[in-house]
Structure 1
Amino acid sequence: MTIALTIAGSDSSGGAGIQADLKTFSALGVYGMSIVTALTAQNTLGVDDVLPISADFVKQQFYSIINDSQLDSLKIGMLMNEEIVIAVSQLLLEHPMPYIVLDTVMIAKGGHRLLQLEAIKAIKQQLLPLATIITPNLLEAAALLSDSQAIDERDMRRQGRELLQLGCKAVLMKGGHLAGSQSVDYLIMPEGEIRLAAPRIVTNNTHGTGCTLSAAIAALLPQTSLVEAVEQAKHYLLGAIEHADTLKIGQGIGPTHHFYQWW
């Protein structure tokens, strides 16, 4: 049994965060474990409040898991503050993971900030060099580089190459914020770039798409190559978005359908 661990925030509405990660792991046949970094009070209409977990308790959760189980893959999501970023970085230096997928969660879809500004520098300096792949959207890539947001594919590719220079092994630049009939991502690696295009699905129910994609990559990496893991993860996410409207959850931005293949 492949075991994947997620270190991320909890979404009380069940559409993003560790809830989305665990659903994704399960849908892809992987056993999921979780470390909670923050509690959120939120629903499909937005985030009402966030309560960070102490860095010491994040460490305690990690030690409880690592002292008992052999982990195959790790997904990192919302880390909230500098203290937690530093704690997670230290833990991974002490206990290296076979695969690390870093989803640089900074801002919720409703605009609520999920990462304190001082934590961005710590992520760049301490976590990025440990990552197998990072999965920033255009807003997050711009924040990491202290640059303006990419406005076209040429900008995306340039920023992806600049992020790669910070030490990670690969960058998946997510282009969902660009206009057009297609949603275009770029997988940037030292050996080259791959353009990944998918039809843009017209739906309001896209809550947790970034969490789901990064969790899917983490679930698939122990079983296949990096390129195939990314391609298969995007295919899974596309199906989850295509079936999202069948769920009818909440009054705002609803979740994707993680179990569309099953029910």
Structure 2
Amino acid sequence: MDNEINSFPQVLTIAGTDSGGGAGIMADLKTFQARHVFGTAVVVAVTAQNTLGVQNSFMLPKAMIDDQFAALADDLHIRACKTGMLGDAQHVRWVVANLKKYNWGPVIVDPVMVAKGGAVLLDPDAIQTVQQQLLPLATLITPNLPEAEQLTNQKITTQKNIQQAAHQLQELGAQNVLIKGGHHLAQQVQDYVLLADGSDFWLEAPRVDTNRTHGTGDTLSACIVAELAQGHDLTTAIRCGKQYVTAAIKHTIQVGHGHGPLNHWAGQKEGLTHAEI
């Protein structure tokens, strides 16, 4: 029986809550459940938000963050983890210290900076801390175009710019890079992947004309974490994440008056099996 303890894949999200349920830790846990892994969380921030925007936020103290990490380490076996909203430089440093303390497998960094409604979720003075301390821990970083611009301090308007930015992010320490192209308004959404061995590829999907995309980045990175925890290689995990998010946007649900959430059980709606997405 002892050999069965903690045998089920367990994953972790380190981020902020979303009282509206569409993004942050809430989106991560829904994705983990849909992808057949057991999700846990270290709450860094609590937000008051809905589909219309972020109305308020509260950053948790260091002792509570450290205690959450320690509680998980005392009992569970985390196989992969991700970061989301970290808020400010000191919270980034506290998270980095804990990630160095505990060996919890691949670390996916989703460098959340601005919410869909425009609220700032990472202080500008924390960007350097992310660059210098968090990126060197990243198995994979998953910025969107504005985030990639902030991290590399360059304007990104062409495919060549995207490739240059990905190489720059690798130089900052991230092993693998996925730059999401959803902010471009082309009919095909193109994401660029640069792997640690120097190989690269593009992912494409038809653009869905909808404003129900709240939590897209959280969901993508959470799906990748789930697949890695189950033993899939990174390329397979990234492709699965892209397919899952595409389905979750395509099969929209009507929730809220603003930037609505994804449909996290879209795989079941399409009749796709666990192995197919």
TM-score higher than 0.5: yes
**Aligned counterpart, 2:58:** 51
- Aligned-pair Cα RMSD in Å: 1.0
Distance in 2 separating the partners of 1:51 and 1:20: 19
Q: 2:164 aligns with which of 154, 158, 164?
A: 158
Residue identity matched to 1:61: Q
Deviations 1:95-146 (A, max 9, x none): 1221110000000011110001121111111110111100001111111112
Residue type of the alignment partner of 2:93: I
| Residue of structure 2 in register with 1:20 after alignment | 27
Q: How does 1:143-222 map to 2 (within 5 A)?
A: 143-148=150-155, 150-190=156-196, 191-222=198-229
Q: 2:257 aligns with which of 248, 251, 262?
A: 251
The aligned counterpart of 1:235 is: 243
SS of the residue 1:74 aligns to: strand
Partner in structure 1 of residue 3 of structure 2: none
Aligned counterparts of 2:132 and 2:104: Cα–Cα separation in 1: 18
Q: Name the aligned partner's letter for residue 209 of structure 1.
A: T
| Residues 152 and 178 in structure 1, CA contact (< 8 A), matched pair in contact too | no
Which aligned pairs between 1:56-71 and structure 2 lie closer than 5 A? 56-71=63-78
**Within 1, Cα distance between the matches of 2:211 and 2:135?**
32
* Shift of residue 179, structure 1, vs aligned partner: 2.1
How many pairs align?
Answer: 260
Asked if the contact 2:244/2:267 (under 8 Å) is kept, the reply is no
Letter of the 1:108 counterpart: A
- Confirm or deny that 1:113 pairs with 2:120: yes
Check if 1:98 corresponds to 2:108. Answer: no
TM-score, with length taken from structure 1: 0.96
**TM-score, scaled relative to structure 2:** 0.92
Q: Secondary structure at the match of 2:31?
A: helix
DSSP 3-state at the match of 1:91:
helix
Check conservation: 1:80, 1:114, Cα contact below 8 A: yes
* Equivalent runs, 1:80-95 vs 2, <5 Å: 80-95=87-102
Q: Distance in 2 between matches of 1:160 and 1:98?
A: 23
Query: Which of structure 1's runs of 4+ aligned residues deviate more than 6 A?
Result: none
Gaps of 5+ in 2: 1-7, 270-277
Superposition deviation, residue 186 in structure 1: 0.5
Give the Cα separation in 1 of the matches to 2:101 and 2:72.
14
Report the CA distance between 1:236 and its aligned residue.
0.6
Aligned counterparts of 1:261 and 1:185: Cα–Cα separation in 2:
21
Contact kept, 8 Å, 1:77 with 1:104, in 2: the verdict is yes
Report the counterpart of residue 224 of structure 1 in structure 2: 232
Gaps of 5+ in 1: none
